[in-house]
Structure 1
Amino acid sequence: MDSFHFKQVDVFSQTALKGNPLAVVFDAGSLSDERMAAFANWTNLSETTFILEPQDPRADYRVRIFTTLSELPFAGHPTLGTCHAWLEAGGVPKGAEIVQECGVGLVRIRREGSELAFLAPPLLRSGPVEADVMERVQRGLGITRNEIIRAQWVDNGAGWLAVMIKDRQQVLNLQPDHSQMQGLAVGVIAAWDPERDGDAAQFEVRAFISGDGMPEDPATGSLNAGIAQWLLAEGLAPDSYTVSQGLSMGRAGQLRINRLGDEIWIGGSVVTCIEGQLRL
């Protein structure tokens, strides 16, 4: 049985227990794929990451990302959470930015004051959602087609599609029937009304992964990166905005989106909650 340095961090929150938790295992090169998958399933968190030596000389480290059921080529909160853990453990980047190697290739990460932000990777799939898929989504969310303003594939490696509805409170009130959306990763977004909701955020988001051990994700970098590319391309959001996510789960995640030139950065805070040794 080997021992590994381990951290559990909370992503997209300045306050512990209010964001999206992530398990991070360091120096995991000796672990088999099966052992990684088994540990990720055991943690029962939305994602668990394993830090390895990079294969690309431009990268500072390599990461593998597992849900309770499968491995992902990319995910947002694991990217920021892993980077935070690596830096906190004494990692020193080769340049001004941190470069993470993962399934989609190299992902740039930068410090923004006390927060971290990753560069949104290109979409692997975009465009309108097929009618039969939309029917499943409508049934699963318990809404009608007229309540959906627009919908789009926003898949950057995690399979996301997104639907925009009219009312923020309706987003918060959703009680999805996950049996209708098996195999889909569905994000739902609505704009905040400044007069009613205030100005702490501009959009409310929820993320559903039907069939996974964690069927709702409390704060989702990959989904919001895809949504940002969609909204900004169509002029539906300002160059800088804040997303609120996780309130229906008792969380209070906040993600900050900034467009700088042709680049879209997804940022937020990370705090460490647990640190110690893991025996596998």
Structure 2
Amino acid sequence: MPIQHAFQQVDVFSAHPLKGNPLAVVCDADDLSDEQMATFANWTNLSETTFLLKPTSPQADYRVRIFTPTGELPFAGHPTLGTCHVWLSRHGKPGQSEVVQECAAGLIKVRVSDGKLAFAAPPLRKSGPVDAKAVAQVAAAFDLSPSVIVDANWTDNGPGWLSVLLKTRADVLNIRPDYAVLKDLKVGVVAPCGSDDDVDADFEVRAFFESVEDPVTGSLNAGIAQWLIGAGIAPASYVASQGTVLGRAGRVSVDKIGDDIWIGGAVTTLIEGTVTL
């Protein structure tokens, strides 16, 4: 028999409602089957839908499962912050400064500070240089001349990201992807913002996968930060802009503190109620 579950739809990585990346969150979902979760995620048709569950680890505050319309992910960034925001709204304690999320990728620490959330970037599952064939495939899919490609690196922390560094923000914004050429690659593109760029950010980022462009992507920004900071290309703290071409105003804060790189942003609840599943 169908059961009602508390439900929220939130906007992640923007202080301006409707300018970030939307996420659907179903609460108290322990009674739902894999098939029910996958079917609902397909129905919402958002880049991700999450399901809040009781943790299995004594170190975790909650467990989350993350679904796209076509499958399940071990980890993703904006679902981590959005789900934590919903959990805090229901179970958080005054003055709570840290939450531990359990997901298929392991335990993820989430900081709570001044109304914003930030997660500690998980270890990269795959890193290092990208082979020339894959770089050529990306260049062809994005119609990029070799002269604008500065470097490429694997930045995979779960979803499978390959990242490409371009010379200028304009190079990033001018991309018009050919998904037939890109095929199954999941590609992030980044470039530094120059002094003439009218934007309150240090880097511009775009994310492409499964024939779509993602508005604002926490996992990709985490992988890019680990790459760029580790290589000395980016400072220990910076702000990334994402979603510009899509009419969004995503802002992702990056801060290296000790051994951790924290990926943060604002989260706003836009829809709250119940869903019957």
Give the TM-score normalised by the residue count of structure 2. 0.96
Write out aligned runs for 1:8-27 (5 A). 8-27=9-28
2:92 is paired with a residue of what secondary structure? coil
Matched AA of 1:39: F
* Residue 246 (str. 1) matches residue 243 (str. 2): yes
Note the C-alpha offset of 1:146.
2.3
Question: 5+ unaligned residues in a row in structure 2: which ranges?
Answer: none
1:126 is paired with a residue of what secondary structure? strand
Matched AA of 2:203: F
* Residue 210 (str. 1) matches residue 210 (str. 2): yes
Write out aligned runs for 1:24-173 (5 A). 24-92=25-93, 96-173=97-174
Distance, in Å, in 1 between the alignment partners of 2:199 and 2:246 is 21
Distance, in Å, in 2 between the alignment partners of 1:13 and 1:153 is 26
* Residue 266 (str. 1) matches residue 263 (str. 2): yes
Distance, in Å, in 2 between the alignment partners of 1:96 and 1:249 is 33
Aligned length: 276
CA contact (8 A) 1:3 1:279 kept: yes
1:58 is paired with a residue of what secondary structure? coil
1:95-118 deviation per Cα after TM superposition (whole angstroms, max 9, x unaligned): 741000001100000112111000
CA contact (8 A) 2:116 2:264 kept: yes
1:164-193 deviation per Cα after TM superposition (whole angstroms, max 9, x unaligned): 111211211211001111211100001100
Note the C-alpha offset of 1:199.
6.0
Question: Which residue matches 1:235?
Answer: 232
Question: 5+ unaligned residues in a row in structure 1: which ranges?
Answer: none
* Residue 197 (str. 1) matches residue 194 (str. 2): no
CA contact (8 A) 2:148 2:171 kept: no
Give the TM-score normalised by the residue count of structure 1. 0.95
Q: Which runs of 4+ in 1 moved over 4 A?
A: none
1:38-80 deviation per Cα after TM superposition (whole angstroms, max 9, x unaligned): 1111111110000000000110000000111110000000000
Note the C-alpha offset of 1:34.
1.1
1:7 is paired with a residue of what secondary structure? strand
1:100-139 deviation per Cα after TM superposition (whole angstroms, max 9, x unaligned): 0001100000112111000000000001112221222111
CA contact (8 A) 2:116 2:266 kept: yes
CA contact (8 A) 1:181 1:210 kept: no
Question: Which residue matches 2:276?
Answer: 279
RMSD in angstroms over aligned alpha carbons? 1.4
Distance, in Å, in 2 between the alignment partners of 1:79 and 1:145 is 35
CA contact (8 A) 2:97 2:113 kept: no
Distance, in Å, in 1 between the alignment partners of 2:27 and 2:108 is 19
Note the C-alpha offset of 1:90.
2.9
- Segment of structure 1 superposing worse, 198-207 or 265-274: 198-207
